[in-house]
């Protein structure tokens, strides 16, 4: 995971709610929006983070993926 994640300004009305080609979007509990390359879905550590988030928040079919951490933890 040498590529750095990209924080997307969720308040920017010019941004589409759809991720760029080859990427997916997740939110943190403090509503920050991040775009990740699809290749992250092959990473065991990232998959574990998604699993923990699913256990905490459930799996919503009508809302965004929400990670069980806040933005300040994502910039480490």
Domain tally, the chain: 1
Mean pLDDT of 11-24: 68
Percent of the chain with pLDDT over 70: 71
d(CA 43, CA 66): 18
**Within a domain: 53:** yes
In a domain, 13, yes or no: yes
Q: Evaluate whether residue 1 is within a structural domain.
A: no
- What is this structure's pTM? 0.63
pLDDT value of residue 31: 86
- Residue 69 CB neighbours (<10 A): 15
Higher per-residue pLDDT: 25 or 4? 25
Euclidean distance between CA atoms 72 and 16, whole angstroms: 24
Q: Does residue 18 lie in a domain region?
A: yes
Q: 53 is in which domain, residue-wise?
A: 6-74
């Amino acid at each position: 995971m040498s590529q750095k994640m990209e924080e997307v300004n969720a308040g920017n009305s010019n941004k589409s709610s759809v991720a760029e080609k080859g990427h997916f979007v997740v939110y943190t509990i403090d509503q920050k929006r991040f775009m990740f390359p699809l290749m992250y879905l092959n990473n065991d550590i990232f998959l574990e983070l998604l699993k923990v988030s699913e256990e905490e928040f459930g799996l919503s079919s009508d809302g965004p993926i929400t990670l069980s951490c806040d933005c300040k933890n994502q910039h480490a």
